[in-house]
């Protein structure tokens, strides 16, 4: 098949119409079955933290498109995570099964952690605010008690966006956006993020001004000679607008208060009701909160966290030698801490900012000491996902806790499941009457 025809199918994978995406996945599956489309051999690499276009993917990937990316490029495992919504989970899991890809799905949001109210954690400049994650979801639909919490997350995010737009519109004056007309159409399911707002403002400036560089130079307080170059570099322009207008010190920014974000406990409740796994988000180990790492992890595991998320690339792929040395050591330290606290790792690139990699460089010498821990974590998450999706026997199930009351032993079992289970449709009938060894014997 020609690259042009493949490109046409890939474009349909990112259509906002779910029926178009579904048909494109089915077409790719048929081509794979007929050996009419080339893919790279599988390799030991995983990206378990990829945002989709349901919460902004810098390269436009839908859940289905991410699955095809993994299949085409030979990623052994892939995971999607979106801000505030589970809208893409069912599509993602269905595509994984159809194309034969090992996958997991999750959600990310911000919460308040009052015990650290005076210390920054992983949200720079915002003491007590925690980026927190749930992984291992298996469907978009949620039980009523979880659906109520999800609806609150979506409503809070929309309100913050509208307030930010009002402030930025006033500051930019002639360049403004209408939330319903200009921002919501940028999303497939009405869940804009700050990055969608940035795209909206760039387009508004293009329409309303004859000299975008001069406009942004003035509004972003950046020398014109620099801005002339920046406007030609989409990633730099987007990151600069977000930093200057939407982050701390910007006109659209509002310092979070105790009621800005939900508490941690409702998030954990929602995650656990859905049979998924609360996951600590780690930034780089430089904040006061993350420097008290064992204290933080003891607190969060006590509240139900069972995994830990890392974005490796920003902690080793650094030009400044001293910054690299410090952050790389912090990376090694957090992996060791995760082992002490029996927290399997979820690692990935996020893919929600231009310039972020499609997958980490698992062959980089700097990652050699932690490479196996990264892969084992990915297999653990996949092991939980496949047993939860096909039999309700995931990590949080009564079956799992009865057979493995010790969390560390449970981690080992689900990692073994992840390594044994072939991607695609369930390979065997699974039910709660089976013993763990019988489950393992039926996989693969």
Based on the fold, state whether residues 61 and 187 are members of the same structural domain.
Answer: no
Q: What is the band of 429 on the pLDDT scale with cuts at 50, 70, 90?
A: confident
What confidence score (pLDDT) does residue 1 get? 64
The residue whose two tokens read 């954990």 is 268
What confidence score (pLDDT) does residue 38 get? 92
Average pLDDT of the residues of the chain: 95
Contacts of 41 (CB under 8 A, 6+ apart): 74
Tokens encoding 145: 């008690």
Contacts of 5 (CB under 8 A, 6+ apart): none
Based on the fold, state whether residues 27 and 45 are members of the same structural domain.
Answer: no
Domains: count for the chain:
3
Based on the fold, state whether residues 68 and 91 are members of the same structural domain.
Answer: yes
Q: What is the band of 278 on the pLDDT scale with cuts at 50, 70, 90?
A: very high
Domain presence at residue 334: yes
Domain presence at residue 254: no
- Which of the listed residues 203, 230, 246 is the one where a domain comes to its end? 246
Phi, psi of 276 (to 5 degrees): -105, -175
What confidence score (pLDDT) does residue 78 get? 99
What confidence score (pLDDT) does residue 304 get? 98
What confidence score (pLDDT) does residue 353 get? 85
3-state secondary structure the chain: CCHHHHHHHHHHHCCCCHHHHHHHHHHHHHHHHCCCCCCCCCEEEEEEEECCCCCCCCCCCCHHHHHHHHHHHCEEEEEEEEECCCCCHHHHHHHHHHHCCEEEEEEEEEEECHHHCCCCCCCCCCCCEEEEEEEEECCCCCCHHHHHHHHHHHHHHHHHHHHHHHHHHHHHCCCCCCHHHHHHHHCCCCCCCHHHHHHHHHHHHHHHCCCHHHHHHHHCCCCHHHHHHHCCCHHHHHHHHHHHHHCCCCCCCCCCCCCCCCEHHHHHHHHHHCCCEEEEECCCCCCHHHHCHHHHHHHHHHCCCCEEEECHHHHCCCCCHHHHHHHHHHHHHHHHHHHHCCCCEEECCECCCCCCCCCCCCCCHHHCCCHHHHHHHHHHHHHHHHHHHHHCCCCCCHHHHHHCCCHHHHHHHHHHHHHHCCCCCCCCCCCCCCCHHHHHHCCC
Based on the fold, state whether residues 165 and 199 are members of the same structural domain.
Answer: yes
CA torsion through residues 286, 288, 290, 292, sign: positive
pLDDT of 253 strictly over 60 = yes
Domain presence at residue 146: no
What confidence score (pLDDT) does residue 257 get? 85
Residue percentage of the chain with pLDDT more than 90: 91
Based on the fold, state whether residues 342 and 407 are members of the same structural domain.
Answer: yes
pLDDT of 427 strictly over 60 = no
What confidence score (pLDDT) does residue 269 get? 96
What confidence score (pLDDT) does residue 428 get? 61
Q: What is the mean pLDDT of residues 204-215?
A: 95
CA 243 to chain centre: 20
Q: What is the band of 194 on the pLDDT scale with cuts at 50, 70, 90?
A: very high
Q: What is the mean pLDDT of residues 254-272?
A: 92
Q: What is the mean pLDDT of residues 331-351?
A: 98
Based on the fold, state whether residues 45 and 194 are members of the same structural domain.
Answer: no
pLDDT of 94 strictly over 70 = yes
Measure the CA–CA gap between 383 and 133, rounded to whole angstroms.
18
What confidence score (pLDDT) does residue 89 get? 98
Domain coverage including residue 34: 1-38
Nearest CA to 78 out of 272, 335, 351, 268 is that of: 351
Q: What is the mean pLDDT of residues 252-258?
A: 90
Tokens encoding 248: 């701390």
pLDDT of 83 strictly over 90 = yes
Q: What is the band of 443 on the pLDDT scale with cuts at 50, 70, 90?
A: confident
Based on the fold, state whether residues 84 and 160 are members of the same structural domain.
Answer: no
CB 393 within 8 A of CB 386: no
Based on the fold, state whether residues 5 and 86 are members of the same structural domain.
Answer: no
CB 2 within 8 A of CB 14: no
DSSP-assigned beta bridge partners for residue 350: 50
Tokens encoding 384: 């939980």
pLDDT of 424 strictly over 90 = no
Based on the fold, state whether residues 132 and 204 are members of the same structural domain.
Answer: no
Q: What is the CATH number of the domain that holds 417?
A: 3.20.20.140
Domain presence at residue 119: yes
Residue percentage of the chain with pLDDT more than 70: 98
Domain presence at residue 61: yes
Based on the fold, state whether residues 51 and 170 are members of the same structural domain.
Answer: no
What confidence score (pLDDT) does residue 112 get? 96
Based on the fold, state whether residues 299 and 366 are members of the same structural domain.
Answer: yes
Contacts of 56 (CB under 8 A, 6+ apart): 83, 193, 195, 196, 352
What confidence score (pLDDT) does residue 426 get? 60
Q: What is the mean pLDDT of residues 303-320?
A: 97
Q: What angle do CA 291, 117, 125 make, to 5 degrees?
A: 70
Domain presence at residue 317: yes
What confidence score (pLDDT) does residue 203 get? 96
Domain presence at residue 94: yes
pLDDT of 148 strictly over 60 = yes
Domain presence at residue 265: no
Based on the fold, state whether residues 84 and 107 are members of the same structural domain.
Answer: yes
Nearest CA to 283 out of 126, 136, 127, 124 is that of: 124
Tokens encoding 417: 């499941």
């Amino acid at each position: 098949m020609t690259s042009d025809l493949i490109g046409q199918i890939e474009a349909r994978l990112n259509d906002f119409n779910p029926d178009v995406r579904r048909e494109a996945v089915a077409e790719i599956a048929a081509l794979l079955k007929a050996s009419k489309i080339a893919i790279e051999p599988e390799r030991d690499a995983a990206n378990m933290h990829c945002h989709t276009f349901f919460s902004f993917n810098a390269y436009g990937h839908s859940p289905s498109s991410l699955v095809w990316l993994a299949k085409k490029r030979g990623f052994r495992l892939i995971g999607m995570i979106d801000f505030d919504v589970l809208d893409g989970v069912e599509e993602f899991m269905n595509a994984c099964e159809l194309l034969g890809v090992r996958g997991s799905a999750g959600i990310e949001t911000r919460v308040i952690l009052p015990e650290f109210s005076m210390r920054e954690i992983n949200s720079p400049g915002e003491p007590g605010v925690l980026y927190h994650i749930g992984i291992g979801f298996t469907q978009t639909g949620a039980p009523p008690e979880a659906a109520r919490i999800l609806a609150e997350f979506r409503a809070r995010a929309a309100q913050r966006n509208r307030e930010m737009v009002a402030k930025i519109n006033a500051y930019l004056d002639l360049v403004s956006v209408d939330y319903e007309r200009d921002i919501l159409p940028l999303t497939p399911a009405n869940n804009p993020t700050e990055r969608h707002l940035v795209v909206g403002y760039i387009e508004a400036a293009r329409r309303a001004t004859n000299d975008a560089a001069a406009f942004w130079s003035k509004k972003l307080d950046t020398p014109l000679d620099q801005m002339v170059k920046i406007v030609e570099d989409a990633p730099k322009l987007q990151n600069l607008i977000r930093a200057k207008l939407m982050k701390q010190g910007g006109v659209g920014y509002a310092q979070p208060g105790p009621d800005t974000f939900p508490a941690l406990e409702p998030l954990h409740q929602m995650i656990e009701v859905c049979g998924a796994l609360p996951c600590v988000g780690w930034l780089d180990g430089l904040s006061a909160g993350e420097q008290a790492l064992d204290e933080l992890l003891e607190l969060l595991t006590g509240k139900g966290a069972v995994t830990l998320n890392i974005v490796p690339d920003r902690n080793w792929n650094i030009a400044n030698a001293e910054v690299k040395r410090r952050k790389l050591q912090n990376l090694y330290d957090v992996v060791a801490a995760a082992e002490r606290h029996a927290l399997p790792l979820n690692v990935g690139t996020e893919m929600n900012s231009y310039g972020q990699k499609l997958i980490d460089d698992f062959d980089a010498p700097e990652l050699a000491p932690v490479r196996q821990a990264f892969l084992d974590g990915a297999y653990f998450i996949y092991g939980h996902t496949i047993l939860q999706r096909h039999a309700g026997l995931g990590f949080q199930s009564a079956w799992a806790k009865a057979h493995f009351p010790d969390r560390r032993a449970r981690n080992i079992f689900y990692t073994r499941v992840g390594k044994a289970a072939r991607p695609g449709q369930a390979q065997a009938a699974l039910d709660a009457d089976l013993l763990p060894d019988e489950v393992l014997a039926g996989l693969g």
